[in-house]
Structure 1
Amino acid sequence: MKKLFFFILVAIASPALAQEYKAFPMWDTKLPTDQRVSDLVARLTLEEKVKQMLNAAPAVPRLGIPAYDWWNETLHGVARTPYAVTSYPQAIAMAATWDTAALHLMADYSATEGRAVHNRATAEGKNNQRYMGLTYWTPNINIFRDPRWGRGQETYGEDPYLTAKLGAAFVRGLQGDDPTYLKAAACAKHFAVHSGPEPSRHVDNFSPSAHDLWDTYLPAFQELIVHAGVAGVMCAYNAVDKQPCCANDLLMVDILRNKWKFNGYVTSDCWAIDDFFKYHKTHKDSASAAVDAVMHGTDIECGTSVYYTLVNAVKNGLITEEQINTSVKKLFTIRYRLGMFDPPAMVKYAQTPDSELESPQHVAHALKMARESIVLLKNSQQLLPLRKTLKKVAIIGPNADNKIAVLGNYNGMPSHVVTLLDGIKARLGQEVTIHYEKAINYTDDSLLVYRDITPFLSFNGQAGIQAQYFNNDNLQGEPLHTVIEKEIDHYWSEGQTPAPGLSTTRFSGRYTTYLKASATEPLNIEMDADDGYRLYVNGKIRIDAWQRNRWGARQFQLPVVKDSVYKLVVEFYQNEGNASIRLKAGNRVKTDFNALAQRVKDADVIIYAGGISPQLEGEEMPVKVPGFNGGDRTTIQLPAVQTQLLQALQSTGKPVVFVMMTGSAIACPWEDRNLPAIVNAWYGGQQAGNAIADVLFGDYNPSGRLPVTFYQSDSDLPAFSDYSMKGRTYRYFQGKALYPFGYGLSYTNFTYKQLTITGNTAAATVTNTGTREGEEVVQLYISHPGIPGAPVKALKGFQRIALRPGESRQVQFKITPDDLALVDTNGHLYTPKGKALVSIGGGQPGVANKTTSNVLTATVDNLTHE
């Protein structure tokens, strides 16, 4: 103790001694990165090395190494930070833009905001917390093979080529072009053969054919790893051929490290190493799981503690320290490339200011991408665009004024979100009467009509509710923050907290108030929270949902007597992710569709905002309502209650515009047959409402194209857990789609002429033959008729172009040998004999599109005009 005290005194007296580590080569900016990394790793003890292999890596003060948490997300803008950031459209919506340049710029802007967040966190001493780092576990380039998968919204759709090109644009934009430093580090996930079901993902084993593996599941990963230089890869939860992905011989060794020569870092999906012995049962214990994962190249365990067993594993000869060194060197190489061990003055990104957060150009780009993502699915009698001289507009539906829906999942929280209702109100002004009703929930027509009970709530003579917040998830100890609040109605995005200094994960709260009844009556009370909660009335538990209960509302009826006082105590905890807590009172009322129709029958137009929501589809969610299970969907049909409401609205005789919000394909055959206009707006980000209004009223000509197939019905789909591509996606589906991949209408018309193939170049002339300026997505497909196992057709090129009325432009595509190749049953590329068909147009060949109806198809010596 005396020696330690002496050292502390000397260090205080001599700052130079305390900074002695700065003389080590690891801190010498003139040396090559690999030499600096090697010096750093050589100075770590075995225990210190192992601790660096978990996502929350602790500091090593004696070497000046700061703590760092690798876990961060930027799927469509920086996610889960406590600071306000720009929220772009959900990934599937950005895929609908087919705009690689816009996606590249979006990723660049996101990296800029990520740097601003990191710099601010560093200044505030929070840079070691989750969601403050520069290593983003994005993009999700799994193939959206089945529309029932709830996380498909995070992907770029069902096509390997489109996914690869969009994913590569994102990686290049996020990582930047500085020759020395990464702007941010991207991570391709989830490697590989991963796309649901969510409830069984920890135990699933899939054995795809070699053809499907190389034809569908791997091409996007190969593009990002071999050509785009992605910094990281995340291995998936599931097993492939009975080996967990994070310890898979074929994926991790043969393909990733040996064939593709990947030298970046690999992280497990979160708690995936636990799955080895808990669920897959392929390993006997945590030590064997940890050793196998590292020996297969999984450098980071995202999780809690499995990798801690590596210390004894080395000592017991189960793995060598050199193998540990290999992983640790990869991790520190990324941190060096991010500039974390260099003076901020040397790293231009370290100068990024707070003003970049939600900067005007970023918000403008969010609007641009939201506009480009919107797909016009139907527009009979040219109902759209709507005229701006309307007198009354009825806006109906559960997505009309839902901020959660437009933000999608894996989202950040902007300072301002524009819903559809907001956007249309702003567009039409006060001269137009707007009639708004939510009318229904997504799957039922029973709404709780809320009453304001806040005037009757008090605590110790003061109006309101006492709120206490704790820095743990079990209400232990003294509260960190106590305040009087008006009501219990809160939502915090992941990374946000209800009080300063509160941890961003595993916090809890207690609300105490006294209700003085205003009447003798049965009072209906409803509670909802994201994670666990409970309600006490006069000391007795009346609602107990302390187990994880995301998006699960509970209700009970409390008989109250006028002027009597009731003590209400609400407790909740946040585990990880978003947090919310809400207490409301009112009466549940079933919507009368006929009465609603009477209320809106004098409107000039009815805009119905429906579809689904990230409150229903997403990652491993405990949602069990009709049509949904565990974050996935059990049916792709539009919920029946929404069709029933639309039928009632149609009965008014007034035109009905269906604005669909969704992260996946919805089957809506009745709506397609009977409604004049259908617009798919996805989850459009913070500017969604303005973008929708721009499209509906003609300030923007819709140009989005579907990145997934919209099927007619559930009967079109193979079993969800069947990973064979037979009958899946436009490439292998033999039926007729409701709305096909690549489809999307416009307010103008495009005509194609003069298809030529010269050498390796295919070209065609596109003309805007309509009366409006518009953007067309020119698509090139190649097919090999008669070749067994070949796709029906496959996208091999696309370009987004803008044309004025009457303007023409020649569009050219380079066709490479790989574009003409197929994958054989052994997973190898080969060039088939015979002639390939090359098609250029505004969609797939053989599929009608009323605004780009003609597709040109040619062989080398035979031209046909469809």
Structure 2
Amino acid sequence: MHTSFALLGLVTCLTLSPAWAETTETPPPIDQKSAFLEHLMQRMTLEEKIGQLRLISIGPDMPQPQILKEIAAGRIGGTFNSISRAENRPLQEAAALHSRLKIPIFFAFDVIHGHRTTFPISLGLASSWNLEAIQQAARVSAVEASGDGLDLTFAPMVDISRDPRWGRTSEGFGEDTYLVSRIAEAMVRGYQGSSPSNADSIMASVKHFALYGAVEGGRDYNVVDMSPMRMYQDYLPPYRAAIQAGAGGVMAALNSINGMPATANIWLMQDLLRKDWGFKGLVTSDHGAIWELIRHGVAQDGREAAKLAIKAGISMSMHDSLYRDELPKLIQSGEVSQKELDASVYEVLAAKYDMGLFHDPFRRIGEASGDQDPKSEQRLNREAARQIARQSLVLLKNEQNRLPLAKSSTIALIGPLADSPIDMLGSWSGAGRHQQTVTLRQGMQQALGAEAKLLYALGANLTGNQSIIDYLNRFNWAETEVNPDPRNAEQLLAEALEVAQKADVIVAAVGESRGMSHESSSRTQLTLPDTQKALLKALKATGKPLVLVLMNGRPLALEWEQENADAILETWFSGTEGGNAIADVLFGDYNPSGKLPISFPRSVGQIPTYYNRLRIGRPAPLDPKEPGNYTSQYFEEPNGPLYPFGHGLSYTQFQLSDMQLSSLEMTADQSLEARITLKNTGDRAGETVVQLYIRDEAASIVRPVKELKGFQKIQLQPGEQQVVRFPITEELLKFYNAQLEYKAEPGVFQVQIGLDSQQVQHQNFSLKP
């Protein structure tokens, strides 16, 4: 039955789409997209049109028998959270074979940083500063997801995040507009391949549009109040970059923007997205967001909420019934026009067309005879996961070259995250299974073999706060998230100290559980939980070398740790092969090359600490040792971040020298080249990221102290050097002025090149009128 859809290109127009099975009228050829879809819409009833706008999840309130009836009746346009071909096949059969017009449905899921194979969390992927690796992660994810019959992912998540208290910091790519924009493009290319209609591709739906990462106080779902200049300059570009890269979908944010929720925001969804940016794809609400317009206080009831959302341009309603219940009456009364309804319906049908579903509704589902066990080990892409995870690790400190560890030593591995497979996956790990994840303990043991002795102790529970444990377990991701050891703190610590005394070096695996860096998991503190802090202080008191392996989904405040640990390795949540990847770095089988995509504050009181802050009239001294008098500072602690944006060490040393500009002036139609020599002055091969920053010395509005405008990841052998070149064009100098005009202004610009955002070499040039 399903094979016939694969032969559509070989038969007559009448056979091209099952939607025309009930009519003798010859439809337009299927390759004439607009005519084909408009002809279909002419045959749809009002109920069928509204049905296309509903995105429904199978669950307690919509069990499979009911959803099959709804689909066959043409009352559902797509589903999410059914993630196997066996699950999706009967749903597609109900739509494409048994509904009146045979309109296929699509299947969506949150494929964020992997599908069956889990890659590092998005913040970890960004730490690689390797666009090819990031695109590969998305491509592998798309192949696995499409192999499960999925058509669309609600990703990439490109919200700029400058307040690490926000739980969804883990899901994004950091604080910098330029870096996140480039990653957004890479992710879209990876998901969609050469076309979202390919059988091994899925459509990308960029989120959360817009400004979700700027919620006040870092508190999830909170309000955003922001000037248009800051929106256009800092927060909107990553969404636009994803759209320009071809993303077929956009998901609306849950927050309000300057008093209007995104789900009802006509300026955002119509004027900016569709008219100014020319977006022609599918716009969906977030989960239950249309109903939440009542809670926002901009709709008095469900009828008004549905009206506001459809007029704003929310074409698909995720997980609520308001479109089904209210749109018929709104159309009948004329409060919502037929034209407005049809515009949304066309968007949904066009997205399905672009996914290739009208040509073959079963192109990703296939025949039942080809089904595999979706949880099969053979489906995993372990080598890619390990390679990419290694690149995501950031060496924050390495006093006296404490790392890499000698495989001949006796090592004490201690900490609540040393052997926690579920936490290795990180938040939004989709279809990943913790049973297939390599923990740090497993990875280190495999790396050592019989060469050395690995001792282990838990040392402390993740936290001693029962209310926090109860909160984290309330998420109920299929099973209990946090399972404290029933022994008391004194017993756990005594065991850890006994193990530590037998070792040459201590490796402490500490940080957050994955649920602590997740949606709705905003924090008021960024320090390690008290149980872990006490463990570290006791381990430090042994006098043994202390190496910290951090696992977390956000920047943490680590002043004590920076002062007292011999080495610190940031591993984020590194995914299916995380334990092996971390072991590769700890033992020197891989030289770390990651760089921070987000600044680490010294304390929560320093937030926000992003590097590209606007210039001010009374800046604090650049040297933290200098006292500041009547300058912008906090007097209790040194100014500036603990670890700056772009920071990351290596087991070798790199040196930059001989920075030059090809010219000291240019005009708008010209370009110049910045070049610098990078040399590996150490004794082993390694990679580093050379970073280009530009500072506008004087402009019509206040501009940032510097902005990332380019980067290159370079690998060099010991003693090898390379000239690194960056072209500088007028495009890199443009910004949004007070009139929201995107242009460059003549004047002096400072070019800065460094291995992080703080330690740079610089030289000036002039842009002439």
Q: TM-score range by the shorter chain?
A: 0.7 to 0.9
Amino acid at match of 1:77: G
Q: Which residue of 2 aligns with 1:794?
A: 707
Q: How many matched pairs? A: 677
Structure 1 position 103, deviation (Å): 1.0
SS in 1 for 2:239: helix
Confirm or deny: 8 A CA contact 1:50 1:307 kept in the other structure: yes
Q: Which residue of 2 aligns with 1:518?
A: none
Identify if the C-alpha distance between structure 1 residues 22 and 28 changes in structure 2 by more than 3 Å, giving closer, same or farther: farther
Q: Which residue of 2 aligns with 1:551?
A: 473
Q: Which residue of 2 aligns with 1:768?
A: 680
Amino acid at match of 2:689: V
CA distance in 1, matches of 2:588, 2:472: 39
Structure 1 position 205, deviation (Å): 3.2
Confirm or deny: 8 A CA contact 1:527 1:581 kept in the other structure: no
CA distance in 1, matches of 2:600, 2:468: 36
1:736 aligns with 2:658: no
Q: Aligned runs of 1:437-836 on 2, under 5 Å?
A: 437-444=457-464, 551=473, 578-580=477-479, 587-592=486-491, 593=493, 596-620=496-520, 631-717=521-607, 735-758=639-662, 759-785=671-697, 787=699, 789-836=702-749
Q: Which residue of 1 aligns with 2:119?
A: 88
CA distance in 1, matches of 2:265, 2:402: 54
Amino acid at match of 1:799: Q
Identify if the C-alpha distance between structure 1 residues 326 and 318 changes in structure 2 by more than 3 Å, giving closer, same or farther: same
Confirm or deny: 8 A CA contact 1:25 1:31 kept in the other structure: no
CA distance in 1, matches of 2:703, 2:583: 42
CA distance in 1, matches of 2:290, 2:420: 37
Q: Aligned runs of 1:289-328 on 2, under 5 Å?
A: 289-308=305-324, 309-328=326-345
Corresponding residue to 2:765 among 827, 849, 860: 860
1:575-601 residue CA offsets vs partner (Å, 9 max, x unmatched):
x97222599999542235356324321
Identify if the C-alpha distance between structure 1 residues 105 and 595 changes in structure 2 by more than 3 Å, giving closer, same or farther: closer
Confirm or deny: 8 A CA contact 1:27 1:342 kept in the other structure: no
Structure 1 position 197, deviation (Å): 6.2
Confirm or deny: 8 A CA contact 2:196 2:356 kept in the other structure: no
Q: Which residue of 1 aligns with 2:440?
A: 420
CA distance in 2, matches of 1:276, 1:376: 45
* 244-253 vs 693-702, which moves further: 244-253
Amino acid at match of 2:390: R
Corresponding residue to 2:267 among 250, 262, 269: 250
CA distance in 1, matches of 2:528, 2:34: 55
1:406 aligns with 2:399: no
Structure 1 position 700, deviation (Å): 0.1
SS in 2 for 1:273: coil
Amino acid at match of 2:155: T
Structure 1 position 71, deviation (Å): 3.6
Confirm or deny: 8 A CA contact 1:662 1:681 kept in the other structure: yes
SS in 2 for 1:89: coil
Identify if the C-alpha distance between structure 1 residues 587 and 364 changes in structure 2 by more than 3 Å, giving closer, same or farther: closer
Structure 1 position 619, deviation (Å): 1.1
Amino acid at match of 1:660: L
> What's the TM-score, normalizing by structure 2?
0.82
Identify if the C-alpha distance between structure 1 residues 179 and 580 changes in structure 2 by more than 3 Å, giving closer, same or farther: closer
Structure 1 position 789, deviation (Å): 2.1
Corresponding residue to 2:287 among 270, 276, 282: 270
Q: Which residue of 2 aligns with 1:839?
A: 752
Structure 1 position 801, deviation (Å): 1.8
CA distance in 2, matches of 1:268, 1:76: 21
1:736-795 residue CA offsets vs partner (Å, 9 max, x unmatched):
211000000001111223323333332222221211111111111111245552111111
Structure 1 position 711, deviation (Å): 0.8
Confirm or deny: 8 A CA contact 2:106 2:151 kept in the other structure: no
SS in 2 for 1:146: coil
Amino acid at match of 2:464: D
Amino acid at match of 1:317: G
Confirm or deny: 8 A CA contact 1:528 1:581 kept in the other structure: no
Confirm or deny: 8 A CA contact 1:90 1:683 kept in the other structure: yes
Identify if the C-alpha distance between structure 1 residues 99 and 22 changes in structure 2 by more than 3 Å, giving closer, same or farther: farther
Answer 1 or 2: which has greater helix percent. Answer: 2
SS in 2 for 1:186: strand
Q: Which has the larger radius of gyration?
A: 1
RMSD of aligned residue pairs (Cα, Å)? 3.3
Confirm or deny: 8 A CA contact 2:614 2:703 kept in the other structure: no
Structure 1 position 661, deviation (Å): 0.5
Confirm or deny: 8 A CA contact 2:71 2:99 kept in the other structure: no
Q: Which residue of 2 aligns with 1:500?
A: none
CA distance in 2, matches of 1:249, 1:740: 38
CA distance in 1, matches of 2:485, 2:334: 65
1:72 aligns with 2:90: no
* 209-218 vs 580-589, which moves further: 580-589
SS in 2 for 1:646: helix
CA distance in 2, matches of 1:839, 1:706: 18
CA distance in 1, matches of 2:481, 2:506: 31
1:142-165 residue CA offsets vs partner (Å, 9 max, x unmatched):
011101001110001011110000
Answer 1 or 2: which has greater strand percent. Answer: 1
Structure 1 position 295, deviation (Å): 1.4
1:814-861 residue CA offsets vs partner (Å, 9 max, x unmatched):
2232321233344333424431111122112x43xxxxxxx3311128
Q: Which residue of 1 aligns with 2:63?
A: none
Amino acid at match of 1:157: G
Confirm or deny: 8 A CA contact 1:55 1:69 kept in the other structure: no
Confirm or deny: 8 A CA contact 2:527 2:556 kept in the other structure: yes
Identity of aligned residues (%): 34
Amino acid at match of 2:678: V
Q: Which residue of 2 aligns with 1:192?
A: 210
CA distance in 1, matches of 2:112, 2:414: 30
Confirm or deny: 8 A CA contact 2:164 2:218 kept in the other structure: no
Confirm or deny: 8 A CA contact 2:393 2:572 kept in the other structure: yes
Amino acid at match of 1:782: I
1:175-199 residue CA offsets vs partner (Å, 9 max, x unmatched):
1114965821101111112124699
Structure 1 position 810, deviation (Å): 2.3
1:418-455 residue CA offsets vs partner (Å, 9 max, x unmatched):
00000001111145332211121223299xxxxxxxxx
Amino acid at match of 2:309: A
Q: Aligned runs of 1:6-17 on 2, under 5 Å?
A: none
Confirm or deny: 8 A CA contact 2:681 2:718 kept in the other structure: yes
Structure 1 position 314, deviation (Å): 0.3
Amino acid at match of 2:553: G
Amino acid at match of 1:192: A
Identify if the C-alpha distance between structure 1 residues 214 and 746 changes in structure 2 by more than 3 Å, giving closer, same or farther: same
CA distance in 2, matches of 1:241, 1:299: 22
